[in-house]
Amino acid sequence: MREIPSEAGSNASLKAFRPFDYIKITIFGFAVAALWSSLHSIILPLRLLDFASESVKNTYLGLLTFAGLVLAMAIQPIAGAVSDRSAFGWGRRCPYIVLGATMAILWLPGIGLAGSFAVIFVMYCLLQIFSNTAQGPFQAFIPDFVPEGKRGLASGVKTLLEIGGGVALLYPVAFFMGRYSGGGGLHWQWLALGALAMVLLGAMLVTVLTVKEQPGVGGGLPLRSALSASFKINIGANHNFIWFLASRLLILMAFTTIQTFALYFLRDVVGVDSPARATANFSIVAVAGMLLVVYPAGRLSDRIGRRPLVFYAGLLGALGVALIFLFQHNYTAILLSSGLVGISFGAFMSTNWALATDLVAKGEEARYLGLTNVATAGGAALARLIGPVIDFFNAQSFGLGYQVMLLACVLYFILGSALVVRVKVR
């Protein structure tokens, strides 16, 4: 089996890096996206209705996912820093991908077995820990293997697969969970969770069997020192990375807020007949928009730079959410607006990840890309805190909480776009 070249930046490496190599090093992202998109968009909102009353369902969902994502924010940099210094004979990253994915698969049934909010809270947090143990090291594959001149393209492929993963199981999961919530029986829930486990297992096997790393050499700081240094950034030398994190956090807060509370918004405000199916349709249209731009955006960023595309992607997202606010009772208009949000998200994720790989410190790629999860999971976690705000304002006037949510998303997009202007790339 041919080994992926690891001399990123040389002409020989540039020529040797072939199309299938992009798939090898990014396929695991497909499975991770499928897992969390299905859980956050459909499975958890419907499962929580088994435990939470109508008046606090947004609060329960927000606090549950906030706690799990705070754990994710901590675990990814630590796992990345440890993998940077690992000395396993079969590589620095793959052992952690196997460990984390296997434990996540074994723990996934806990979401279905939980009989109370406290139990599902614990199960969800542990699933976040295991998943991010794999994801932190996995994210270093692009700077490990890809020549600098092709990292925008590689980031585009990564984002394309993550988008595909995010939508691939939405319709099957919506079908299964719609019947579960309608009283069709527990077996529908197990079909949904089983599908996620199979995708995660398949992607893990493809990754570890096709990606051939050089043996890890260890070195650097001792493990204890490496762990204590996992979240340290020399601000003076890496101030551009700080601006990058702040911009990414705000824009991802906007995207995540829409995704997290879409089912309840469509159920309560729009009044759709099947919230699970309507949420799947909303996500499918958004994904169609993403697919239009994710690959060309990655390629274009290699030519004109990352910042302009990230800036305009954020503004387009603000426009899409503003249209949802204006036409919030019109399901057709909401679907069309979700397409604009999808275009924004596709362009943002493709070029923003390429920007991250441009900014990471040499020799600490996995740790720094793990630190991007301070923005990724941190933004996702902070987005969940609007759940109690939604319930509070809904108690004052029906639907007012969702209006506050949408206006907050517009503000997140605009501020995130403004901050990326401060990022200077060599």
Which residues are CB-contacts of 150 (< 8 A; sequence separation ≥ 6)? 14, 17, 302
Measured CA to CA in angstroms, residue 400 lies from 34, 315, 424 at distances of 31, 24, 40
In terms of Cα–Cα distance, which of 306, 311, 342, 335 is closest to 160? 342
Q: What is the pLDDT of residues 232-273, one digit of tens each?
A: 555 555 677 788 888 889 999 999 899 889 989 999 999 888
Q: 426 pLDDT exceeds 70?
A: no
Mean pLDDT of the chain: 84
Superfamily of domain 17-211+234-420: MFS general substrate transporter like domains (1.20.1250.20)
Give residue-wise pLDDT tens across range 52-99. 888 888 889 888 988 888 888 788 878 887 888 777 777 889 999 999
What span, in angstroms and rounded, lies between the C-alpha atoms of 45 and 68? 15
Dihedral over Cα of 260, 266, 268, 272: its sign: negative
Alpha helix locations (H) across 211-330?
223-228, 239-265, 275-304, 307-326
- Distance between start and end Cα atoms, the chain: 36
What integer pLDDT is reported at residue 183 of this predicted model?
74
What confidence tens digit (pLDDT) does each residue in 10-60 have? 444 445 667 788 889 999 999 999 999 899 888 999 999 888 888 888 889
> What pLDDT does residue 232 have?
57
Per-residue confidence (pLDDT) for residue 21, from 0 to 100 = 86
pLDDT given at position 14: 46
Name residues whose C-beta falls within 8 Å of residue 237's C-beta, 6 or more positions apart in sequence.
none
Give the pLDDT confidence score for residue 346 in this predicted structure.
Answer: 86
Taking residues 182-211, what's their average pLDDT? 91
pTM: 0.70
Q: What is the pLDDT of residues 310-320, one digit of tens each?
A: 899 999 999 99
Domain boundaries, the chain: 17-211+234-420
